[in-house]
Chains A and B, each alone.
Chain A
Amino acid sequence: MARRSQSTRLHLAVTILMCAFVSTDGVDMNDLLERASQLSDKLHSLSTSLTNDLDSHFPPIGGKMMRPSMCHTSSLQIPNDKDQALRVPENELLSLARSLLLAWSDPLALLSTESTTLPHPERSNINSKTKELQDHTNSLGAGLERLAFKMGPSSEALSSLPFYNNNLGQDKISRLANFHFLLSCFRRDSHKIDSFLKVLRCRAAKMRPEMC
């Protein structure tokens, strides 16, 4: 009798703690998603601005030759429309977002390295923005990782999207073309991440209908 009472008491305590933890997580998740969506929005805006800077002086000369399907993240299966996206569970959406974000850590590093010597009149601007892009990506990655921890173990699975290029090219045009191509790929992927996170945000904030 004594042992049973002790075990039941222990289970009760653990249960209470778990409930509190989960309840607090709910509140924290909303805030985390809000923060993450703000970051992703910022990320995409930066990439768009960077692309505009890059195309200001040079026409998209390499746009026709390299298609976005050639991005290293194109192999990732993502929902293509809204109906598909709304049917995807939250943790899968989060996983996709995290996978994409994780896939761009290396290429962004390359871009950051290449932007310093990029033969472009807007190089300083491009350089600063590229650096900022890298920072935001890292912070978003950390936030999404924490979010994934709160969501559960199923969101822990990530798709590997390796990036094998270690330079953009040798000549000026190649470098510019490659830089432009990478940037375009990143722009799209950042949009994907932003969209997924905003869907997750509105799905979690059921208590605040005015936000969504």
Chain B
Amino acid sequence: MGISSGPKPFLTVGVLFILLSPATGFSAPGRPRVINCRSPEKETFTCWWEPGDDGGLPTTYALYYRLEGSETIYECPDYKTAGENSCFFSKNDTSLWVDYNISVVASNDMGKSVSEPVEVDVVYIVQPNTPESVMVSVLEDNHGPYLRVDWEKPQSADTRSGWITLVYQLRVKQAKDETWEEYDAGMQKYYNVFSPHSGKEYMVQVRCKPDHGFWSEWTTPVYIQMPDYMPKVRSMWIMVAVISAFLILLFAWTMNVKQNSVKHCLLPPVPGPKIQGFDQQLLKNGKSEEMFNALVIPGFPPTSTYEDLLVEYLEVYDDEKRELVLNEKNLIEGSMKSKSTSSDNDSGRGSCDSRTLLMEKCVDESGTEQELSQYGEASWASSDSEGRDNPASPGLEDGKVQMWPSVFSSPQSHNFQQQHPGGLRASHHSVPEISCVSPQVQTCCGQQDQLEGFQFSKPGLYRYAQMYSMDTIECKHVAQEPQSQSQSQSQSAEYVEVQTVNQENVLLVTPLSNPEGPNPELSDFSGEDYSKVRDVTSDNVLLLQRDLSVSQFVGDYCQDQIGQVDPCFLQQQQQEQTCKLNAHLHHPASALQEDMRLAGNGYVDTTMMMS
């Protein structure tokens, strides 16, 4: 055949060759790249590379390294341990504090490519493995529950010898949250997380780092569920509130019950005045009398005895042998004492005894005494039944004649005698009576011859005085003159007025209301509305007289009737009711009935009437 085809086949082969060659990757591989080298425990390390384009052909990679200061190139001893595209340097192949110059060569059929060299010092590429055995638990203490995280160091790291020193770090977050809370745990292998929220789920991760190196990867998260719980603080406050409320209620109830005593304790009542014996209840009851009676203190006001109020004895003396003594004394007392003591020798002066009615003292006593004694006996005899026992029986003393009022009871009138005791006994007078009628009394007394008569007449006077009081001693100087004077003289027993006491200790007396003459004025004495008694019947009935009669008439009448009577005596009796009575007694029928008039003052003395 002649090889004379020409240029066409040559051109075809060339075109086919050009077209087919790119599709098969026939090129040298691209440059790989060393990614990083790491040493987990500072004893070994591993390098990883990234392959480049392989060029379409099976490419092999080789790692070559060179130590500094030497030119010897070593190839990676272990491509398998660390995985694909890695080189693992074992302990024997690892040197510290030496720079490694590592490069990777990719080669294929087409060519080779070399990566960039990397300077690596092992001590600078330390990155430990992740911590292991991470455990999370919920614990409780006084403040409440908390999380406790425990872990272990990575096994490869030799911290025990101090070859490597690890510090740890953990992070916690709630499962639903986004942000983590990181905590540095230092070199310890546990950590407490406080105040977690109750009822929430938490995630915990831990990592570590060498003293001069890289942080490890985080561990796989550990999930923990917090239980539901009540904070103790809140429960404590609730209990405190309940107890305090209970205590407040109890206190309020107690105060309410005891409010009175509390009020008394806090606000003590102001003490009021206390009066002894004062009872408020009596006052409230309205019985003021009882209350005031309670206030009365016995013994107050001090009541003085009646005796203290009395005036002392008044002694009146008559210097002319006659002594008239007036004694006044407590009538009450005197009445009692008069019966006890018969004589009272208070002084030798012949003072009047309080209990006894005094007689004037006559000079001539002997005769007087005799007569007196006779008379006295007679009178006594008549009234012995009643007069004897009278303690007031007069004792005839020297110079002193004391005659009882009973003496006055004239023998003529039994009535008198009878009345005497009554008069004696019933005599209570508070007012002494000085019935010295007139100066004539003196003279009368001065006359001895009339003394006897006077004495006799005295009983009338004395008796008159005695009618009022036993103790009242009336010294009556009844001057009885002879008949001529008797009439003019009104020896009335009316009250006299003591004017003066002369130098001779003689009482000068004047009639009270009738200085002129008693006679015509006798009726004036009875100017008051006094009723004159005419008569006293046997039935003790007073017969009152209608009108008054002239004393003179009476005097005459008396005189007529009682002739035997001593005129002095008769005159005396004119003034008295007894005159009339005497007349009535002796001449009861006619005289009295006709002229039942009362002379003098018609003063009725009930004591005389009593029969």
Chain A positions within 8 Å of B, measured between CB atoms, are 41, 44-45, 48, 63, 67-69, 74, 78, 80-83, 85-86, 188, 191-192, 194-195, 198-203, 209-212
| A3 smallest CB distance to B (angstroms) | 51
Whether the pair B160, A212 counts as a contact (CB closer than 8 A) is yes
Main SS of the interface on chain A?
A: helix
Interface residues of B in 447-502 (CB under 8 A from A): none
**How near does chain B come to A59, taking the closest CB pair, in angstroms?**
13
Per-residue 0/1 for B360-401: is the Cβ within 8 Å of any A Cβ (1 yes, 0 no)? 000000000000000000000000000000000000000000
Pair B162/A210 contact, Cβ less than 8 Å: no
Q: Which of A45, A81, A194, A203 has the most CB of B within 10 A?
A: A81
In chain B, residues 34-56, which have Cβ atoms closer than 8 Å to a Cβ of chain A?
42-43
Report the tally of A-B residue pairs with Cβ distances under 8 A: 72
Q: Does B187 contact A (CB under 8 A)?
A: yes
B119 within 8 A of A: yes
10 A-B residue pairs with Cβ-Cβ distance under 8 Å, sorted by A, are: A41-B211, A69-B68, A74-B69, A81-B91, A82-B163, A195-B123, A199-B161, A203-B161, A209-B160, A211-B187
Question: Could you list which residues of chain B lie within 8 angstroms of chain A, going by C-beta atoms?
Answer: 42-43, 68-69, 91, 94-99, 119, 121, 123-124, 158-163, 165, 187-188, 211-212
From A44, A69, A82, B69 is in contact (CB under 8 Å) with: A69
Contact in complex: A44, B212 (CB < 8 Å): yes
B162 touching A212, Cβ below 8 Å: yes
Query: A78 CA to B42 CA in the complex, in Å?
Result: 16
Kindly list chain A residues whose C-beta atoms are within 8 Å of the C-beta of B158: 82
Check B161 against A86 for contact (C-beta < 8 Å): yes
B162 contacts A203, CB within 8 Å?
Answer: yes
Q: Which residues in B have their C-beta under 8 angstroms from that of A198?
A: 162-163, 165, 211
Give complex CA distance A168, B333 in Å.
Answer: 160
B119 touches A195 (CB 8 A): no
CB distance A188 to B97 under 8 Å?
yes
| A61 CB, min distance to chain B CBs, angstroms | 14
Task: Choose from B42, B91, B99 the contact partner of A67 (Cβ within 8 Å).
Answer: B99
Cα–Cα distance between A97 and B99 once the two chains are bound (Å): 20
Interface SS, B side: loop
* Chain A residues in 8 Å Cβ range of B163: 82, 85-86, 195, 198-199
Knowing A63-B119, A80-B98, A82-B158 are in contact, say whether A45-B212 is a contact too (CB < 8 A): yes
Contact A192 B43 (CB under 8 A): no
User: Could you tell me if B68 and A191 are in contact, using CB atoms closer than 8 angstroms?
Assistant: no
Assess A191 versus B123: contact at CB under 8 Å? Given A44-B212, A80-B96: yes
Q: Is the CB of A191 within 8 A of B43?
A: no
Contacting pair B43 A81 (CB below 8 A): yes
Chain B: which residue is nearest A69 at the CB level? B69
B161 touches A68 (CB 8 A): no
Which of A191, A209, A210 touches B97 (beta carbons < 8 Å)?
A: A191
Contact yes or no, A68 B187, CB < 8 A: no
Contact A81 B162 (CB under 8 A): no
Closest CB-CB distance, B316 to chain A, in whole Å?
A: 141
- Do A201 and B119 touch across chains, with their CB atoms under 8 A apart? no
B94 in contact with A81 (CB, 8 Å): yes
Not counting A82-B43, A191-B97, A200-B162, a sample of 12 additional A-B residue pairs whose C-beta atoms are within 8 angstroms of each other reads: A67-B69, A68-B68, A68-B121, A81-B91, A82-B42, A82-B91, A85-B163, A188-B123, A191-B123, A191-B212, A198-B162, A210-B188
Alpha-carbon distance A209/B159, docked complex (angstroms): 10
| A200 to B162 alpha-carbon distance, docked (Å) | 8
In the complex, chain A residues whose CB is within 8 Å of the CB of B187? 210-211
Chain A residues with CB under 8 A of B188:
210
